[in-house]
Amino acid sequence: MRDRNWEASLYEHQHEMIKRLDVHRKKDRNDQLTQDEIMAVEHTFQLLVASMLDFARYVLKHHYDVGVERRDQVLDALIEHKDVTYEQGQQIRVLVELRQKILFDYLDENFTELSSALSLRRYALVEVLTKEWTSRLGQEER
């Protein structure tokens, strides 16, 4: 059963995270960020991508009746069900791989790579997909 309140809350939370990332993206590149600011941007990015994957799992469950146990299986399931275009799949892959680097290679300096990805505003795909998936769930109920 759908949880429309959760869907709306997730969308609003994603929107707020995207606004925070946009603030960073628009900053002058000559401004040095503090370590706390870097960590806040990385954490926001990680949460945004995780929320996209969790919502995709939710859609797979409620639209296709497919249970996906782990986040790392989500993209394959979306592709299998032709729920994303090839281009979207590639963008999701980039976002997930960057999230994984930040999450598990936290001793390495990945912020330059993250800043580069943010400058392209690839993360905006999350909001687009959330709208598409919510619409798809709504069509199913008609």
Say if pTM beats, i.e. exceeds, 0.75: yes
pLDDT given for residue 7 in this prediction? 93
pLDDT tens track for 26-74: 887 778 888 898 889 999 999 999 999 999 999 999 888 989 988 889 9
Rounded CA gap, 138 and 136, in Å? 5
pLDDT given for residue 107 in this prediction? 63
Contacts of 8 (CB under 8 A, 6+ apart): none
pLDDT level of residue 140 (50, 70, 90 thresholds): low
Mean pLDDT on 80-97? 91
User: Domain 4-140 belongs to what topology?
Assistant: Four Helix Bundle (Hemerythrin (Met), subunit A) (1.20.120)
Mean pLDDT on 115-140? 85
Rounded CA gap, 78 and 56, in Å? 8
Q: Specify whether the CB–CB gap between 13 and 52 falls below 8 A.
A: no
Tokens, residue 12:
């609003």
DSSP letter, residue 120: T
State which amino acid sits at residue 61: K
DSSP letter, residue 34: P
Q: Specify whether the CB–CB gap between 129 and 11 falls below 8 A.
A: no
pLDDT tens track for 129-138: 999 998 888 8
pLDDT tens track for 1-20: 789 999 999 999 999 999 99
User: Strand (E) positions, the chain?
Assistant: none
